[in-house]
Amino acid sequence: MVCFVLLSCAKNVSSTLTRDEKRLVLAYAELVKLGTRMPARGPAYQDSADAILNRLRFTRADYDRSVASLDENPERWETFYREVQALLNVNKSSEAVPR
């Protein structure tokens, strides 16, 4: 379900980001959500994180390179985090169960 929501929200990611940066937003948001469910240093987290990166066609090195490339232009970080936050907020509201 989360995967579907994240992928359906990909269309809302700002067009000022490159295609790779949009994928990075999705990956980063999923990793943040994963970190809320399990300890980041545990083997289960690492396995799940690798599965997320693999599904989004990132190797660990690709992911690290993509994050490092944002350092070349600090304004990109602002846009990146704004998009991650928007995606996490959309997912948070979509997980609410009406009563």
Per-residue HEC secondary structure of 36-81 comes to HHCCCCCHHHHHHHHHHHHHCCCCHHHHHHHHHHHCCCHHHHHHHH
For residue 88, being part of any structural domain is answered with: yes
Domain count, the chain: 1
Regions in the chain scoring below 50 on pLDDT: 1-14, 96-99
For residue 98, being part of any structural domain is answered with: no
For residue 86, being part of any structural domain is answered with: yes
User: What would the pLDDT profile of 75-98 be if each residue is shown by its tens digit?
Assistant: 889 999 999 999 999 866 655 444
| Range of the structural domain that residue 89 is part of | 26-93
* pTM, to two decimals: 0.74
For residue 57, being part of any structural domain is answered with: yes
For residue 63, being part of any structural domain is answered with: yes
For residue 75, being part of any structural domain is answered with: yes
For residue 21, being part of any structural domain is answered with: no
Which pair of structure tokens corresponds to residue 17? 């980001």
For residue 78, being part of any structural domain is answered with: yes
